[in-house]
Chain A
Amino acid sequence: MLRIRICYESGDPERTIEFDPAAAPFSHDGEPGSILDVLLGHGIHLEHACGGKCACTTCHVILKDGEEHLSEQQEEEADELDNAPGLTMHSRLGCQAVVTGDLTIVIPKYTINQA
């Protein structure tokens, strides 16, 4: 079982979920086993205006811990992330980053969807 701890920049209470990566996909959207897929499949909302197709930045998350436990970033994700408000060195798109180990993520207060 893998574990994702989810913190909110808004100050909302943090959540932790555990899941079996072999059971992916958990939802309709994002790469199977991605942060977006896992969160949606466990009842945790994450914006995904493009439907999890790497065409917007609304599923932007910031890695606080466990960044090495994610699939390697591909060029299209880097292209899109360039446009994310509040981009950091530890930013990923939830729909593209496939989880391979335990993580702690921060969901930014402002995505472009709420700007």
Chain B
Amino acid sequence: MAVANGVPREYRVTLDRVRDWSSDTRSLFLRLPADSPLVFDPGQFVSLALPAGDRPPLVRAYSLASSPEDGALEICVDRVPGGEGSGYLFGLLPGDEVVLTGPFGSFKLAEPPPTPLVFIAQGTGIAPVRPMVRRALATGDQPIVVLQGGNAATPMVYAAEFVELASANPRMRWESVLAVAGTAAADNPQLERIVRERYVEADDERARHFWICAVGALATRLRDLLRGAGYERRAVRCEKW
């Protein structure tokens, strides 16, 4: 079947298996029909039409944590208290089907620019970063930094894999940045401080490219901090969940 590159279309996918990171964070592995590849760029998301809520379908977007080369699609889902979409997804069993449309989104990395790359994520915001880092490692030779924010109460998803990638690739550095106890899950003042000290105050280098993925105001603050410090608007890419 001929598939135009990256043009969104509808797919009926099957839940193959799950991986539980904690009781409230789960990866879902979705199998595409054999004759329907989904062509996407690392960092993009799919849109799920769920038979949930008081006016179905409930449309919910999830970043792909898998690489285009992986075959199966992986999404990483946080259970939201009272959330109809995440509640439905946590109730799915292997073999169940879901309808999705994709790919979508301009928060992506298809061909890495030849500048230092900095990825900043909080919580499961690391999901779209994972395939982007893999792509950058496979195609470029520039320095790569991954700042993975989290807190003691939530799992650091994919951290073991990042540690392994960093030890195998001297040009890549991975750091976990844990917020102090009591900080709201979506916030991370430590992460903001490190970004400010390192990429705003420490030097005048402004050629770096950033990808930021976090929930709500933290994403916006990080974006504004970097753009306000003189980085090109389009070199500071931000996805706010």
Residues in chain A within 8 A of chain B (CB atoms): 27-29, 40, 48-56, 58, 75-76, 79-80, 82-83, 112-113, 115
Contacts and interface: CB of A to CB of B under 8 A. Distances in A.
Given A49-B104, A55-B105, A115 B7 contact: yes
8 contacts: A28-B55, A49-B61, A50-B47, A51-B59, A55-B240, A56-B104, A82-B106, A113-B8
B107 interface: yes
Nearest to B53: A28
B59 A49 contact: yes
B44 to A, nearest CB: 10
B45 interface: yes
A78 to B, nearest CB: 9
B101 to A, nearest CB: 6
Nearest to A58: B104
B60 interface: yes
Contacts of A49: 8, 47, 59, 61, 101-102, 104
B241 A53 contact: yes
A50 B241 CA distance: 10
B106 A50 contact: no
B220 interface: yes
Sorted nearest first, the 3 A-B pairs with minimum C-beta distance are: A49-B47, A50-B61, A56-B104
B194 interface: no
Contacts of A54: 240
Given A51-B60, A58-B104, A79 B238 contact: yes
Contact of A76 (B8, B47, B240): B240
Interface string B199-241: 0000000000000000000001001100000000100001111
A80 B106 contact: yes
Nearest to B58: A28
Interface string B106-147: 110000000000000000000000000000000000000000
Given A50-B45, A76-B220, A76-B240, A55 B104 contact: yes
Contacts of B101: 49, 113
B203 to A, nearest CB: 25
Contacts of B53: 28
A53 B105 CA distance: 11
A54, A58, A79: most-surrounded residue (chain B CB, <10 A): A79
A49 B220 CA distance: 21
Contact of B8 (A51, A53, A115): A115
A60 to B, nearest CB: 13
A76 B238 contact: yes
A79 B236 CA distance: 11
Contacts of A51: 47, 59-61, 85
Given A27-B55, A112-B8, A115-B7, A53 B104 contact: no
Given A49-B102, A50-B61, A51-B47, 17 more contacts: A27-B55, A28-B84, A29-B59, A49-B59, A49-B61, A49-B101, A50-B104, A50-B105, A51-B61, A55-B61, A55-B104, A76-B240, A79-B233, A112-B104, A113-B101, A115-B7, A115-B8
Contacts of B105: 50, 55-56
